[in-house]
Amino acid sequence: MTPLSRVRLVILAIAMGVIAWAIARMAVTSGRTPLAVPWTVVLVAALVAIAALWLAWTVRQYRRGKNPGLSGLRAARTAVFAQACSYTGTIIAGAFSGYGLAIAIEWSHAPRREVAISAFVAALGGLVLVTAGLIAEHWCKDGGDGDDKRGSQPA
């Protein structure tokens, strides 16, 4: 399993931000009312982040020899879940940041300011999810036990 590339995450966030910004600007300039982002986005992102960290903590304890009953399959699934959290958080953060920036252009209009604030708060929830995913992946990844050199040695 290849580790997450932070460059790929940044590029994904920027791409999602630009796409969301363009769509939101087209909608607002055509006279549509922007929708507020539900506050539950942050709550759900935080709960998923806590779940990822909790699962990864058990893998970390296993790797330190404190939890010998953990299966390798569960550890692998936890690592994949951590990466999925990072990608999902990146998409959420980028999309809601772009949406918020598109609405924040009209900051002086109070209802649109509230929509922009709700979008920025949701983007922070995405950043929490990205951070938790990166930490969880770090706790799950192999410590470099020389796996690259095994191919040259006889079995």
- What is the number of structural domains in the chain? 1
pLDDT in tens, the chain (155 residues): 788 889 999 999 999 999 999 999 999 999 888 899 999 999 999 999 999 999 999 999 988 888 788 888 998 999 999 999 999 999 999 999 999 999 998 888 888 899 999 999 999 999 999 999 999 999 988 654 444 443 333 33
Q: Which domain holds residue 138?
A: 6-30+39-142
Tell whether 71 is covered by a domain.
yes
125/47 Cα distance (integer angstroms): 10
Nearest one of 102, 120, 125 to 24, comparing CA atoms? 102
Tell whether 135 is covered by a domain.
yes
Tell whether 133 is covered by a domain.
yes
Q: Answer yes or no: are the C-beta atoms of 34 and 115 closer than 8 Å.
A: yes
Tell whether 82 is covered by a domain.
yes
Tell whether 152 is covered by a domain.
no
Report the sign of the C-alpha dihedral through residues 134, 129, 52, 10, in that order: negative
SS3 34: coil
